[in-house]
Amino acid sequence: MAIQITFPDGNQKSFDAPISGLAIAQGISPGLAKKAAVIQVNGELWDLTRPIDRDATIAIVTRDKPEALEVIRHDAAHVLAQAVQELFPGTQVTFGPSTETGFYYDFARDTPFTEMDLEAIENKMRDIVKRDLPITREVWDHKTAVEHFEKAGEKFKAEWIRDGIAADEELTIYKQGDNWLDMCLGPHLPSTGKLGTAFKLIRVGGVYWRGDANNAQLQRITGVCFANDDDLKAYLKMVEEAEKRDHRKIAKQLDLFHQQEEAPGMVFWHPKGWAIWQVVEQYVRGVYKKSGYQEVRGPQIMDVSLWKKSGHWDNYQDNMFFTESEKRTYAVKPMNCPGHVQIYNAGLHSYRDLPIRYAEFGGCHRNEPSGALHGIMRVRAFTQDDGHIFCMESQVEGEVTAFHSQAMKVYSDFGFTDLAVKLALRPDKRLGTDEAWDRAENALRAALSAAGVAWEELPGEGAFYGPKIEYHLKDSIGRSWQVGTIQYDPMMPERLDAVYVDENSQRIRPIMLHRAIVGSMERFIGILIEHHAGSLPFWLAPVQVVVAPIVSDADGYAKEVCELLKDANLRANTDLRNEKINYKIREHSVQKVPVIAVVGRKEAEEKTVTLRRLGEERQVTMPLADVAKHLLG
RNA sequence: GCCGGGAUAGCUCAGUCGGUAGAGCGACUGAUUCGUAAUCAGUAGGUCGGAGGUUCGAUUCCUCUUUUCGGCACCA
């Protein structure tokens, strides 16, 4: 039986017997065989050592290709697992996939691994690479696999195969050398030596078996892995740089805010941090006005009965704060919507009035799980740029598309372009009928289509009252944060009895759209700080200009310049300390002040100012009268 | 919430194999009046996160606790 192999260039060759990818590569050139990682066979990735037993179109995948990198990383996970089991007998394996930057493997072991163990494990990994163990693929039947893993004391693996894989399915087993194996779909490299040296274990941490908090806790060891050492080095450098932008670190350096033990998950805003907040708030207030919102304000606490009516108590009582007075229990508001409904309900509305749009910088408290708290990105007291649109069903699409373009404009104004749009669909725990959810989800899909955006759908992640569109921003170390959202809610008007009167004098339920653009002010400012590494653009900088006299004879003139800048609504300070100009320049540069205005005797005499922009050495001298206009222009 | 690592001067960190702690920067005082990223000298500053325990003696060891960091789970 001849096997016909078709190469990427269209050439064909036939072989008398099954042939491995490695042999084919060697037939082309030894150099190719050396660089080869896997082989693509009829569109599928195969091991180089797996005999090709059928006619096939093939392509050798060299280790510099993205598909190969995934295989290399997956191999690293296996080598990690073998290393751990050699060093710590009795440790059970579970899963170990490749990730965006490397790999991890989850182990079951009574004693958790420590950072100290990582070095030993990594050394053992390098040893296994050096041993260059052949990696071989075998096909087992279901029963053999379950028996093997049970006998080996691999309870998690056995459970997974027994409960997670159909009994008639064949399983592939990969062996590394003679003494170690794991069940895996593959493909893998031909031997452990091919893994190379560009990997590093970076952390350990607890995880739940199959991602469920009710299950056993496993130990995850995470590593990074690349095709070559230069890529690894570049990645580690990038991480190091990213860590320098951590908003918690920068907030301390620039004196923006602090947090302390007595108020976990809450923020003490210092003058400079609050100055940033004010700029963001005033900007968003402008957006409210432009897009037809009326700003309102609801109370911070309301009787718990209202939250029972709204459905929040059922869903979130564990995460709400309560307070008591005169035998009544109040909930500190975790959301602004019930308050806005009360404002809406205070009058009777005609269909002619819709849509009615309310907005609020709504302070909310949520008792987030302690482990979730993270700087000002995830807090227990936060402020939303919240808004609620009461409208007819026919108005939803227009409102959502208008919101979308407004939101995108806001993000780009703040310097963000890397956004992902997601549509979160009905969760298990929800209010309302399936028909209502169908209508709600389709309305949001229609609006997104009309806006011409690409989106990702997230089944099961909607709010209990309705589906939502989410806007996600990436931070400096690649973490994704949700900022904006618009949510379709037919339930809250029902529960809290909101109505409008239609053209037939009938009382009809409006649809409520919950929406936020920056989301949490706290989180958004945190992202801003990291995104700009503390060097906020001029319009956002807490201190925009420092006026620094060279020696004290220009102090009076410096004050005069500063007053003029303040009159022009610029955030300006003077630095009259008895320090050298070099010292002042350095200090305000480190403090990320965008403009330093240096004035000496010369400037004072000529009524000019010399400006130095952050990061530039170039100096520009201009008449005092032009300075404010120049800076604001 | 769960698993693990931390918490020492305002900040960044060192240190004590159990005998109540040290640096740099900052602050303060003085000198210096200087043209674009750190002038010099001196001084002050810490119940070593909190509460128990072991001990002649605890910042150090143990227990509990608060909080923080990383991971997971959660995120209306």
Q: What pLDDT score does A522 carry?
A: 98
Whether residue A514 lies in the annotated active site: yes
Residues in chain A: 633
Q: What pLDDT score does A417 carry?
A: 87
Average pLDDT (A575-596) is: 96
Q: Are residues A26 and A74 in the same domain?
A: no
Question: CA angle at residue A201 from A195 to A204, to 5 degrees?
Answer: 140
Q: Is the CB of A617 under 7 A from strand B?
A: yes
Q: Are residues A461 and A491 in the same domain?
A: yes
Whether residue A388 lies in the annotated active site: yes
State the amino acid at position A388 in one-letter form. Answer: H
Q: Are residues A487 and A620 in the same domain?
A: no
Average pLDDT (A362-373) is: 97
| pLDDT tens string A116-139 | 899 999 999 999 999 999 999 999
Place of tokens 């860590």: A243
Q: Is the CB of A290 under 7 A from strand B?
A: no
Q: Are residues A360 and A397 in the same domain?
A: yes
Whether residue A55 lies in the annotated active site: no
| pLDDT tens string A151-193 | 999 999 999 999 889 999 889 999 999 999 999 998 999 999 9
Q: CATH number, domain at A174? A: 3.30.980.10
Task: Answer with the one of A499, A531, A563 that is the final residue of a domain.
Answer: A531
Residue A425 CA to residue A268 CA, distance in Å, equals 36
Which strand B bases fall within 7 angstroms of a protein CB? 1-5, 11-12, 31-39, 66-76
User: Phi and psi dihedrals of A124, rounded to 5?
Assistant: -65, -35
Whether residue A588 lies in the annotated active site: no
Evaluate whether A377 touches A527 at the Cβ level (below 8 Å): yes
Which nucleotide comes closest to A465 if you measure CA to C1'?
A: B76
CB atoms closer than 10 angstroms to residue A534:
21
Residue A512 CA to residue A504 CA, distance in Å, equals 21
Which residues fall within 8 angstroms of residue A477, CB to CB, at 6 or more apart? A239, A242, A243, A245
Q: Are residues A121 and A154 in the same domain?
A: yes
Q: Which of these, A95, A91, A88, lies nearest to A108 by C-alpha position?
A: A91
Residue A454 CA to residue A408 CA, distance in Å, equals 13
Is pLDDT of A478 > 80? Answer: no
Task: Answer with the one of A182, A214, A242 that is the final residue of a domain.
Answer: A242
Residue A21 maps to a domain: yes
Evaluate whether A160 touches A63 at the Cβ level (below 8 Å): no
Q: Are residues A53 and A119 in the same domain?
A: no
The alpha carbons of chain A give a radius of gyration, in whole angstroms, of 31
Q: Please give the structure tokens belonging to residue A57.
A: 């179109």
Q: A405 falls in which pLDDT band (50, 70, 90)? A: very high
Q: How many domains does chain A have?
A: 4
Which residues fall within 8 angstroms of residue A389, CB to CB, at 6 or more apart? A355, A356, A357, A399, A512, A513, A515
Residue A57 CA to residue A36 CA, distance in Å, equals 17
Residue A471 CA to residue A469 CA, distance in Å, equals 7
Residues 516-575 of A with CB under 7 A from strand B: 550-553
Evaluate whether A576 touches A555 at the Cβ level (below 8 Å): yes
Q: What pLDDT score does A475 carry?
A: 65
Residue A569 CA to residue A349 CA, distance in Å, equals 41
Q: Could you list the residue range(s) of the whole structural domain that residue A610 is in? A: 545-632
Is pLDDT of A2 > 70? Answer: yes
Q: Looking at A75, A182, A246, A386, which residue is catalytic?
A: A386
Residue A539 maps to a domain: no
DSSP string, A611-631: EEETT---EEEEEHHHHHHHH
How far out from the chain centre does Cα A161 lie?
33
Residue A526 maps to a domain: yes
A374 DSSP 8-state letter: B
Residue A474 maps to a domain: yes
Q: Are residues A264 and A283 in the same domain?
A: yes
Q: CATH number, domain at A450? A: 3.30.930.10
Q: Are residues A364 and A511 in the same domain?
A: yes
Q: Are residues A81 and A210 in the same domain?
A: yes
Q: Please give the structure tokens belonging to residue A630.
A: 């120049």
Round to a whole number and report the distance in Å from the CA of A620 to the C1' of B40: 32
Round to a whole number and report the distance in Å from the CA of A590 to the C1' of B42: 27
Is pLDDT of A593 > 90? Answer: yes
A509 DSSP 8-state letter: P
Round to a whole number and report the distance in Å from the CA of A258 to the C1' of B8: 20
Q: CATH number, domain at A26? A: 3.10.20.30
Q: What pLDDT score does A3 carry?
A: 87
Residue A230 maps to a domain: yes
Q: Are residues A478 and A360 in the same domain?
A: yes
Q: Are residues A183 and A168 in the same domain?
A: yes
Q: Looking at A184, A225, A337, A562, which residue is catalytic?
A: A337
Residue A234 maps to a domain: yes
Between the alpha carbon of residue A552 and those of residues A56, A498, A619, the distances in Å are 84, 66, 21
Task: Answer with the one of A531, A559, A584 that is the final residue of a domain.
Answer: A531
Residue A229 maps to a domain: yes
Residue A256 maps to a domain: yes
Is pLDDT of A309 > 70? Answer: yes
Q: CATH number, domain at A618? A: 3.40.50.800
Evaluate whether A42 touches A36 at the Cβ level (below 8 Å): no
Q: Are residues A482 and A592 in the same domain?
A: no
Q: Please give the structure tokens belonging to residue A212.
A: 């469920």
Round to a whole number and report the distance in Å from the CA of A116 to the C1' of B18: 25
- % of chain A exceeding 70 in pLDDT: 99
Whether residue A85 lies in the annotated active site: no
Average of per-residue pLDDT values in chain A? 95
Q: Which of these, A334, A346, A338, A340, lies nearest to A359 by C-alpha position?
A: A340
Which nucleotide comes closest to A218 if you measure CA to C1'?
A: B3
Place of tokens 């992902």: A420
| pLDDT tens string A595-605 | 999 999 999 99
Q: A578 falls in which pLDDT band (50, 70, 90)? A: very high
